[in-house]
Amino acid sequence: MQKKKHVKFVCLTLGFILLFSGCAGNSGDSVLIEEQEQGVAMGRYVERELALPGDIRTVRAFHKNQDGTLAVLASDAFDAFTASDQWKMYQSTDMGESWADKTPAGASQLNGLAVLAADFDSKDDLYMVCYDEEQEQDAQTEIIQIKNNGDVSSVLIPEPMITGLRVAESGDFFICTLDGFIEQYSADGAYKRSYTPVTSPDMQIHSFVTWGDTLAVFQGSRLICYDTQTGEQTDAVEVPDSVTEDMIFLPLNTLQYSPENNSYYFCKASGIYRFTVGGGLMEQPVNGNMSAFSMPSMSCEGLLAVDDFYLAYYKDNDRCALLKYVWDNNAPTVPDKELSIYSLYDHKTIRQANSLFQRSHPDTYITYEVGFEEDSAITLNDAIRNLNTRILAGQGPDLIVMDDLPIQSFMDKGILRDLSDLVGDHLMEPMAHTYQLEDGSVYAIPARFGIPVLLAEKDAIASIHDFSDMVNWGLQKKAEYPDPSVRCTTITQSEALLRELFPLCASTWFAPDGSIDKDKLSEFLEGIDKIAKTGEQKEYNPVSTPFPVTGSWWVQGRVLLQLGTLLNPDDIKGQYWAIDERKDGGLVPTPMQGQNVYIPQTILSVANTAENPQLGMDYISFVLSETVQNYNLADGFPVNFAALQYMTSLSFWEGRPPTMENKADGTSVITPWPSEATLTEFRALVSSLDTPAYTGGAAVRGIVLEQANAYFAGSMELRQTVDEIAKKLELYLKE
C-alpha cells in the first residue's frame, strides 16, 4: 500500500501570525511545509552563533555593501558612551563566517572618541555621531563621514545630543534627539523639518529607518511612514500589543528595510518579526523562545535581513557576537523532545539556560511555565494549590524550580527524584548539599545563592551576634540621632523588613517535634515592630522599597545598620568602597543566631513523574556548568566553584568602565573596581557561609505576614498574634 504524504500550507512563522490593520494584502513569504505520516511538521530557521573578530564589546553599525560583503564598525569600548582608541572596520566576504580588518586610514580620527550612533549610506560611506568627553559640549554635534577611499569630512548639526542616525539615499541625515524628535537635515547640515514628537510615554520611539523617499518610524504601537520630500505622513500601521510590549529600551537600529523582498524587519526579545510593505500579515520567522533572543544576558543591538537568512548582532555578557538564522528543511518545526519546566516566579538563570540548552540540543523543545506574577489574577497560594493538583493527577511538569514551594513536603511525599549523581567537587560546599538527607540522597540543588550581609561600623560588628543584639544596638544608636532622615536599618517599613529577615530567622521558630517556639517568634515580631517605629511607615510596595546594596546610604549617614542581600559581583564594590570611605566599618554575613546564612536560589528538582527524567537530569547538569554559571544575571552567585572564582577575580572586571557612588557630602565620586585584597576578603566571607536560610515555602511566610500585619497596625496584641500564627502554622505543617 502506498504511503500517504500529507501537505499542509502554513506561513513561515514559528510563533504566530498577526493581522495588521491599515495595510492589507499577502505577505508573499509563505512556504509549503511537508508533514510526514507521523504528523511531524518540518522546516524552521536554525540558529548559529558567529564570532566577531578581536575583543569587540560594541558594534555601532552593521551593513551589507554593494558588492555583497558585510561591514561592521566596532571597538573594545564597553558601551556607546565610552571612548575607545581602537575603532575598527571589519569586512566579511562569506556572510559573517570570517572577518578581515579593513579599517580605513581616516578612522584614526575616531580614536579617543565615543561613537554614539553610526550608519552606512547606499554608497557604503560611513557616517558617525561622535562625542569627546574631554571637551566641553556645546549646542552642536559633529557628524564625521569616512568615504570608501579613506577621505574624511564632517558636518555640524545644531543639536546637542543625538541618540540615533540614519542616512537616506538622497544624502539627508535623519537624527533622533534626546527629547524624542526625529529631525531631517540636508547633507550640508541645513535643517529641513521635524517628525514624531513624543507627547506621552506610550509614544516612545522604538526604532526608525529610511529607504527611497520614505521614513518609517516604529513609535508607540504604530509603524508610521512619512514622505521625506514633503514631510507628510503617508501611512500608519497598528502593531498588536503582544508585539510591542517590553520595547521601550530597544536600540534605535533594530528596524530594517530589505529592498530584496520589500519588507520591514525588526527584532526584540521574543524574536524576529517581518511584514511586507502594503501587506496585511505580520510574521515571526524566528521565535525568541527557541533562540538566544530570550536570554536575559542578551541585548539585541541590530538586525540585517540578507536574502534568505537573518543576522542579528547582540551584546551578550559584555561581548558582541552575531546570531545567524538559516532556513533548514530538515529541522522539525517544533523539536520532537519536550522538557516542561515550572517555577512560581520568573527566573533569569532558567531563561538563560533554556536558550543555551536548546542551541546545544536542537532536538529538544523547552516549555517554561511561570505560575505566579505580581499582576496575576490568582493568588500565590492558588498557584501552589494548582501545581499540587496537577502533580497528584500525574500532569505535573518534568522539572520544578522549588523557590518558595514547600520543598520538605515534596521530599517527604516522594515527589522528587534523587539528584545525588549530579553533585561533585565542581560545586560549592555547603550549597550543593543543602537538601541532602542522611542516606546521601539529594532531592534538589540550588543553582544560585544570595548572601545576606550587614554593613556597619566596627562597634556594631563586634556587638551584634544575633537578631536580639541587632535590635538592641540599633535602637540605642538611633536614640543618638533623633533626625527622622537617619534610619535604624536600611528599610524601616515593617512588612518589607519582615520579608527580608524572615528566611534568616524562621528556622529558629520550629522545634524538632514540629511545634512552634513562641518565645523566638515573639522576639522576632516585637523586634521588627520596634525598628519599624523608628521610621516612617508607608504601605508596602515591593517596587518602591528595595534594599539598596551600594553602601552609599551608610556612607552618607542615612542608615546605621545597612542590611541587604548580595546577588552578584557588582554588589561587592559598593560595600567595600563604603568601608574605605568611612575608615571605620566592616561587612559580615547578617548575624542571626550565631550562624552565617546563605539563601538558596533557583532550586532545581526533577519530578518522579517526568516523562524523560534523564533529559531533566541533563538539563540540571547543564545549568550547573560553567556554560550557564559564568553569566552574571544578578539573581545570585553561582554554585559552580570555577564560575564563582571567575566572578570574584580581577579578570571579571577587566575593561569595564568605572561607576559612580554618592559620598556623605552629597557629591558623586568615580569608584574603582575591587582590588585583589578586597576580593580575597570577600571570598573568605563566602567560605564562612554554613547555614541555609529557611525555605519552607511562600505559604508559611504568608501565614506569618497575615497575622503580623494586624499586630504592626495595632489591631492585635503580640501574644494573640503569636498564638494565631503558631496555631495556623502547626495546622499547615500537619497537612
Give me the sign of the Cα torsion angle 393, 394, 399, 405: positive
Question: What is the pTM assigned to this prediction?
Answer: 0.85
Question: Which amino acid is located at 252 in the chain?
Answer: L
- Please state, in angstroms and rounded to a whole number, the distance separating the CA atoms of residues 421 and 620: 11
> Among candidates 682, 630, 652, 240, which has minimal Cα distance to 451?
682
Distances, alpha carbon 663 to alpha carbons 326, 367, 555, in Å: 52, 47, 6
3-state secondary structure of 126: strand
226-261 confidence digits (pLDDT tens): 999 999 999 888 877 777 776 655 566 788 888 878
Q: What is the DSSP letter of 416?
A: B
Give me the sign of the Cα torsion angle 13, 15, 16, 21: negative
Residue with cell string 578612522: 107
**CB-CB contact of 661 with 570 (8 Å):** no
**CB-CB contact of 348 with 331 (8 Å):** no
Alpha helices in 533-636 (DSSP H): 552-555, 570-582, 613-623, 626-629
User: Which residues of the chain fall below pLDDT 50?
Assistant: 1-37, 543-546
**CB-CB contact of 46 with 326 (8 Å):** yes
Phi/psi of residue 388, nearest 5 degrees: -60, -40
- Please state, in angstroms and rounded to a whole number, the distance separating the CA atoms of residues 666 and 668: 7
Distance of CA 572 to the CA centre of its chain: 19
- Please state, in angstroms and rounded to a whole number, the distance separating the CA atoms of residues 644 and 638: 6
Question: Which amino acid is located at 138 in the chain?
Answer: D
Can you give the pLDDT at residue 24? 27
Residue with cell string 497537612: 735
Please give the full DSSP string across 65-120, using - where no structure is assigned: -TTS-EEEEEES-SSTTS-BS--EEEEESSTTSS-EE---GGGGGGTTBEEEEEEE
Can you give the pLDDT at residue 26? 31
Phi/psi of residue 483, nearest 5 degrees: -60, 120
Detail the DSSP E strand segments found in 204-362. Answer: 205-211, 214-219, 222-227, 233-238, 255-258, 263-268, 271-276, 281-287, 298-306, 309-316, 320-332, 337-343
Cell of 258: 530589505
Can you give the pLDDT at residue 15? 30
The partner residues of 399 in beta bridges, in order of sequence, read 341, 606
Q: What count of other Cβ atoms lies within 10 Å of the Cβ of residue 258?
A: 20
- Label residues 420-457 b or e (16+ Cβ within 10 Å = b): eebbeeebbeebbbbbbeeeeebbbbbbbbbbbbbbbb
Q: What is the DSSP letter of 2?
A: P
**CB-CB contact of 315 with 302 (8 Å):** no
Cell of 117: 550612533
Which domains can be identified in the chain, with CATH numbers?
A: 1-48+250-334 (no CATH), 341-445+603-630 (3.40.190.10), 449-599+649-696 (3.40.190)
Number of helices (H) and strands (E), helices first, in the chain? 17, 39
562-571 confidence digits (pLDDT tens): 999 999 998 8
Q: What count of other Cβ atoms lies within 10 Å of the Cβ of residue 144?
A: 20
- Please state, in angstroms and rounded to a whole number, the distance separating the CA atoms of residues 619 and 138: 54
Cell of 263: 519588507
Residue with cell string 515534596: 410
- Please state, in angstroms and rounded to a whole number, the distance separating the CA atoms of residues 315 and 57: 7
